[in-house]
Structures are given as structure tokens and as C-alpha cells.
Structure 1
């Protein structure tokens, strides 16, 4: 017969809120309160617990940092795209005479709706502009449809 070590009994006093949380947690996990208490005490007394927590936090921070880098890149692409479009539009669109300006204003709502519809299709179907923009392009500027250095 194997020599099994018998566990020692320990009595602890818990705050009613802590006891309630322990009871609910044990019921959700279908485990005994004793087993959960033993695991919690072992974790608390573990010397590498702080290092393990630090590693978990560092991993999460690294993941957040990568997400922030992607967001920063995407926002930069959006801002540059808008700036290039505005510069192109301002440079290529002449001012309209008064009668034509009124007609254009009347047509603008319809054109805006068409733009929003096209944008919605593009966002739903992809590819996204950020996927089309190469990440290794350095020090190149797009100016009116041609690359210049």
C-alpha cells in the first residue's frame, strides 16, 4: 500500500463577503471550497508568483503596445490620405461661376450619399487601404498620382 500523506486540517475565519465569493466560485467551477482555498494559499506562498504575474503583465503590455503601433500607423495613413486628397482636389478643381455653384450645391447631397454608399461597400468588402499601403516604404511621397523622392 502506498504511503499517502494525510492532509492537515486548517480552520480560517473569512469575512462574509469573501466567504460568499468563495462559495459562489466553488459552485461555478464545481470544485470544493477546500481545494480552492488550498490552491489560493499555495499560490500566495509561491516565491515565483510575483515573477509569473510580472511576466503575464509584460506580455499583455507588449500586446497593447503592438495594437497601439498599428492604430498609430492606421491613423497616420488616414490623415495622409485625406491631406493628399484635399491638396489634389484644391489644386485641380477650379472655382465655379455663381449659376453653376448653385446647381452643384443642389447636386451635392446626392453625390455625398453616393460617396457614403461606396465607402460602406469598401469597408464591408475590403481590401482596406492600410493593407494596400506597404509598411517598408520609407521617405517616398505620393504627389498627384506619381511617386517622387
Structure 2
């Protein structure tokens, strides 16, 4: 048994409900129940959107900053590599000592990058606050 409810509608809404209920197999109770279910479902969805919107906006802003930082980093690296390749003369094949020093410097560089990444410290933008 379903609980009974007494509802009051204005004349215009009551006339529209009467017109909809004239279709065969349709009742006023079914129309009102469907409308109420749809209304409650939309209201719940709006509440979820209201709760998630600030977080999604924050994430979008973070992604935009990351994209900007990545573009700056890639452009800086590309310009440095281009400058290095055009200015720096290649080492002669016979200069093994210079090549060994270059390998040592490169290994030290890679070690330093690994250490920085491992500790979370950054050279560029160290004074900027980190967000949780």
C-alpha cells in the first residue's frame, strides 16, 4: 500500500495535470511521482556539482600553471642546446682527457639531478610556496 498525500496546485498547473492524465494508462499519481523523482535527482546532481566545482577549478588552475612551467622549461632547454651546439667547438677524437672530464661532469650532473628529484628540492623557483 502506498501512502496517500494531499497536494494543492494552482488552477493552471491543475489543468495541465488533467490534460496529461487523459492519455490511456497514465495517472495523475504516476505523473507527479515521475516529476518529483526527476526534480530530486536534478537537485542532488546540483549539490554534487556545487561541491566539486571549486576543487575542479583549483585543479584546472594547477594544470595551467604546470603547462606554463613546462613550456618555459622546454623553451629554455631548446635555446640552451641550440646555443651550446653553435658556440661550443667539438672535441678532437684524440683528446681522451677532455672526454673523460666531460663524462665525469655529466655523471656529476645526472647525480645532482637525481638527488634534487629525490629530495623534492628545486633550483628554479625554490622560494615559491608549495601547495599541498
User: What TM-score does the superposition give when structure 2 sets the normalisation length?
Assistant: 0.51
Per-residue CA deviation, residues 16-73 of structure 1 (Å, 9 max, x unaligned), is: xxxxxxxxxxxxxxxxxxxxxxxxxxxxx58742221111232232122112112101
Aligned: 1:104 with 2:84: no
Q: Which runs of 5+ in 2 are unaligned?
A: 1-39, 128-132
What is the CA–CA distance in structure 1 between the aligned matches of 2:120 and 2:71, rounded to whole Å? 22
Shift of 1:94: 0.9
RMSD (Å) for aligned C-alpha atoms: 3.1
Q: Which runs of 5+ in 1 are unaligned?
A: 1-44, 133-149
What is the CA–CA distance in structure 1 between the aligned matches of 2:71 and 2:112, rounded to whole Å? 22
Q: 1:49 aligns with which of 38, 44, 47?
A: 44
Give the aligned partner of residue 8 of structure 2. Answer: none
Give the aligned partner of residue 28 of structure 1. Answer: none
Shift of 1:107: 3.0
Give the aligned partner of residue 60 of structure 1. Answer: 55
Aligned: 1:118 with 2:118: no
Shift of 1:96: 2.2
The size of the alignment, in residue pairs, is 89
Q: 1:73 aligns with which of 61, 68, 73?
A: 68
State the structure with bigger RCO (CA 8 A, min sep 6), 1 or 2: 1
Per-residue CA deviation, residues 55-94 of structure 1 (Å, 9 max, x unaligned), is: 1232232122112112101211220121121122112211
User: What TM-score does the superposition give when structure 1 sets the normalisation length?
Assistant: 0.46
Judged with a 3 Å threshold, the aligned counterparts in structure 2 of structure 1 residues 98 and 128 are, in CA distance, closer, same or farther, namely closer
Judged with a 3 Å threshold, the aligned counterparts in structure 2 of structure 1 residues 106 and 78 are, in CA distance, closer, same or farther, namely same
